[in-house]
Structure 1
Amino acid sequence: MKNVMLYAYSQYNLGDDLFIKILCERYPNTIFHLLAPHNYSQTFSSQKNLKIIRRDSVLFRGTNLMTTKLDQRKLFYTYLSRNCDAIVYVGGSLFIQGDSWKKELKNVQEMHINSKPFFLLGANFGPFSEQAFLKAYHHLFQQFTDICFRDQYSYTLFKDLPNVRVATDMAFQLETIRAETDPSSVIISVIKPSIRKALRDYDAIYYKKIREIALYFIEQGYTVTLMSFCSYEKDNEAIEAITQSISVGARSHIHTFYYKHNLDEALERIASAAFIVATRFHSMILGWIFRKPVFPIVYSSKMTNIMKDINFQGNYASFYTLNTLKAETVFQSIHGNMVDITNQIIESEKQFLKLDIYLKTKT
């Protein structure tokens, strides 16, 4: 049985937690060691091959602080993975250029241990604004064993590297669940725009439009669930702001759902809905997986890149066109906006092509 050090965005984000679930279920004979808060053991209590390295323990925090101050984080990561045969870094938007991008680059450099195979799966690259950012990662990526991006745009940036591949989002490998569709149920996944630099001025218009959409569906006899995918990124604050702007009478037709430890319940909610209004990237993907009509509200190029790759032909809105978005347009999409993801299910399995070879021949 092999041991794999697993790095992921462990902040109780539903989309990233899906990646962890899919990895653990695909390789039941591999032990994954995940650096995460101790409560992740509750989130993944059914995954017996997942061991949590508690990053919120006093010992971990002290050691982390000391090695950071001494500029010895490489030694720290080496120690963490000392009993592991390989390292997997999985996630979606792992490489966005921000003000502290050099610090984040260094962190990824330190995760990489020369003596161990290193697999980077599921990510997209960007947005970025400087060639220095691209060049720095181009140099780093040459050292990895295998890199599989989830969109053609990211792949094109690094296609000259022989270890770089592309396959669509890993979430398409999720095993679908059986759930009876409630024909009167609509899910709206929401975000707090202003935590993103490019959307810092969009809270008011976005909340106003979500409110309008929710009320329109209620008027048509639907029940609306506002869904938070990640409280750490303040989805919950967005829900509170939206619900507070709705009258008490209408509020009785609005439910809320906050993801943290309840991954299976979250998936069941989406699977049983009749329609998804998707701001979160993986609410869009999950809607397609569960064969639901989806109306995307695009906040990032990662959404448009996947929509382009999948040849999505339905209606959608972007944050830059919210002012002109009509709730009636969203409602009309309930009768269309479907996509056939047969090819995506097949293609997404290629995310694991090299890791399959390594683990299934080495286990």
Structure 2
Amino acid sequence: MKKNQKQYYVEFFNHNNFGDDLFVYTLCRKFPEIMFHTNGKKDKVQSLKKIENLYIHYDNWIKRKLNAVLKRVYKKQDLLLKYRSRHCKGIIYIGGSLYIQPQDKWLKDYYLNSDRLSIKGKSFNLIGANFGPYKDESFLNHFKDKFKEYEYVCFRDKKTYRLFQDLENVNYAPDIIFQIRDWFPNKKINKKDNEKNKYILFSLVGENVIKNYEEYIEQVNIWVKEYLNRDFNIILLSMCKEQGDLETCNNIKKLNGDCDRIKIVSYENDVEKILEYIYYAEYVVGTRFHSIVISLALNISVFPIIYSNKTINMLKDIDFKGKYIDSNEISKIGFAWVDYNRCNKNDVNSDELAHEAQKHFKWIQNNLNR
């Protein structure tokens, strides 16, 4: 660490989820002159340990137990977070679906955990998130009051922004990951050189993520077979093993016996490997939110399968003109609908989106020279 180097503490969902890891990866790439701090269990943050300007405070069961006791004693304070961030100028809370209203029995703990992220005397910045779904106005009003206390807030969808637009510190920008085109790929390659290995990439989700799972499996398998019949190879992509994506990939693979033209790729601590698989794809059939965002950012044709409002909100915000399908309607469409975006380019203005997405980092950028 350099003398007088600015430092910030980063809170995020540290559970080997590709999208959340990519948030941190992008933040650190954007500001190499800043030393960032974060925490996590060793086996949950392995993909981030190679980042030179990120210091990871590793958790173990002793630290977690001690912190739990301290939280009960000191109520609204997270003393371990306070200690770890003692040299940091501020705290950055970065993530996507951070504000989903829990069941009533968990609501009190949810509020307490949210409160503990704020530390007196340190700026608090919320970036990259959307709000909801929620069912009670009291939940919304609680966070309206809470967000007033934050230094800077930038949401990734206009629907959320409109909920809080009366707060002066609240902003909107497209998803943080649209900035990926600023640093990936490092050099363009000629895809025609890879014609024999052309493939369709399917980003899949686990059973607990999508409602009509059996129907989802059945339809995806039909599309896989259609592409195999058209001489494409298939990549089945798991972006979050912990949430069941890999199990879904295995289920699809089993339905096709020993077919050697189907390959499973699972996110295992290598961010750029996953980016490369998406970049080299002939076409992406994407369920995971960030498989869709990355495809759009890199001008890769994509067919979105929507299991959450966050995806449809994003597509509307950026004026996406291509075909897509709600997962609840997945059995009502034919293969031609799925394949439409491959044959009919529907690129968005990725340069403009990348520029606008930088607004998430506006507060950090403005404070660099202070």
TM-score range, shorter chain: over 0.9
> Are 1:138 and 2:144 counterparts?
yes
The equivalent position to 1:257 in structure 2, one of 241, 247, 265, is 265
**What amino acid sits opposite 2:213 in the alignment?**
D
Question: Deviations along 1:263-316, whole A, 9 cap, x unmatched?
Answer: 111111111111000100000011112211100000111101110011011111
Say how many residue pairs are matched: 354
Counterpart residue type for residue 187 of structure 1: L
In the superposition, the TM-score normalised over structure 2's length comes to 0.91
Q: CA deviation at 1:171?
A: 0.4
In structure 2, do the counterparts of structure 1 residues 180 and 115 end up closer, same or farther at CA, with 3 Å as the change threshold? same
Q: Does 1:195 align with 2:208?
A: yes
1:186 is matched with 200
Matching residue of 2:305: 297
Contact 1:179 1:271 in 2 (8 A): no
**Distance apart, 1:237 and its partner CA:** 1.4
Residue of 316, 331, 338 corresponding to 1:323: 331
Give the Cα separation in 2 of the matches to 1:43 and 1:129: 35
**Cα distance per residue 1:87-113 (max 9 Å; x no partner):** 000001111112134422321211111
Shift of 1:41: 5.8
> Structure 1 138/235 Cα, relative in aligned 2: closer, same or farther at 3 Å?
same
CA distance in 2 between partners of 1:48 and 1:158 (Å): 36
Specify every segment of 5 or more residues in structure 1 that has no aligned partner in the other structure, as ranges. none
Residue 17 (str. 1) matches residue 17 (str. 2): no
Q: 2:220 aligns with which of 210, 234, 239?
A: 210
Note if 1:110 corresponds to 2:119: no
Q: 1:284 to 1:41 in 2, by over 3 A?
A: closer
2:94 equivalent to 1:90: yes
SS in 1 for 2:116: helix
> Is the 1:5–1:84 Cα contact (8 Å) retained in structure 2?
yes
Cα distance 1:213–1:161, how it changes in 2: closer, same or farther (>3 A)? same
Letter in 2 for 1:342: D
Q: Counterparts of 1:117 and 1:162 in 2: how far apart (Å)? A: 16
Contact residue 4 and residue 31 of structure 1 kept, 8 A: yes
User: Alpha-carbon deviations, 1:1-33, whole Å to 9, x = none?
Assistant: 111111011111111111101111111121111
Tell me the CA shift for residue 331 of structure 1.
2.2
In the TM superposition, what whole-angstrom CA distance separates every residue of 1:8-64 from its partner, at most 9, and x where no partner exists?
111111111111011111111211111222246641243111011112x13322212
Q: Of 238, 241, 245, which residue of structure 1 is paired with 2:248?
A: 238
Name which of 351, 357, 363 aligns with 1:354.
Answer: 363
Structure 2 portions without partners, runs of 5+: none
The answer to whether the 8 A contact 2:102-2:110 is kept is no
Hey, what's the Cα distance between the residues in 2 that align with 1:318 and 1:361?
46
Corresponding residue number in structure 2 for 1:126: 132
The reply on whether 1:62 has 2:75 as its aligned counterpart is no
Give how far 1:86 is off. 0.7
Q: Is the 8 A contact 1:294 1:337 kept in 2?
A: no
The SS at the match of 1:226 is strand
Letter of the aligned partner of 2:96 in structure 1? Answer: G
Most deviating of 349-358 and 172-181: 172-181
Alpha carbons of structure 1 residues 36 and 257: separation in structure 2 relative to 1, 3 Å: same
Q: 1:342 aligns with which of 342, 348, 351?
A: 351
User: How many Å separate the matches in 1 of 2:156 and 2:190?
Assistant: 30
CA distance in 1, matches of 2:254, 2:310: 30
Could you tell me whether the CA contact under 8 Å between 1:67 and 1:73 is conserved in 2? no
Q: Which residue type is aligned with residue 232 of structure 2?
A: Y
2:10 aligned residue (6, 10, 24) = 6
TM-score (normalised: structure 1): 0.93
> What amino acid does structure 2 have at the position aligned with 1:50?
L
Q: Secondary structure at the match of 1:357?
A: helix
Q: Identity percentage over the alignment?
A: 28
The answer to which of 170-179 and 122-131 deviates more is: 170-179
